Amino acid sequence: MCNGALALKRFIQICDRADVFMSQEEADDSYKSGYFFLQCYARLAKAAIEENRCLYRLKPKFHYFAHMLRMIRWYRWNPKKFDLFQAEDFMGKIKECVNTCHRSTASSTFIFRYLRFLQHRWQKNR
């Protein structure tokens, strides 16, 4: 498990450092690290299934991750520069805010809160 986590950490570090298009060495290293992570995770999932434990579920995001690794290998593009990592985080924050609102007034309350947030952010950055 530790080796898989370290491989994922290495993949993320390479993507953080790399430019929009990776060098051949960066692309190869990120592909190997990402693929090793997927192999480790699959082994853990297999072991959990054999022990009848509900751990390490294989999710559709892993399938996408495998395709993304192939694209890195073929085209050397950095997924951190093209993918929507920030958008997923933003949607999580939106959901968190909406969940704190009452169901009957969620849409209007959320819009009011979001506009107040933008106003505060605008004034802070001026």
- Residue partners of 62: CB distance under 8 A and separation at least 6: 38, 41
Task: List, for residues 2-42, the tens digit of each pLDDT value.
Answer: 898 999 999 999 999 999 899 999 999 999 999 999 999 88
pTM of the model: 0.64
Task: List, for residues 74-121, the tens digit of each pLDDT value.
Answer: 999 898 877 665 556 667 777 777 888 888 888 888 888 888 878 887
Residue 31 contacts residue 72 (beta carbons within 8 Å):
yes
Sorted by where each begins, the domain ranges of the chain are 2-82, 85-125
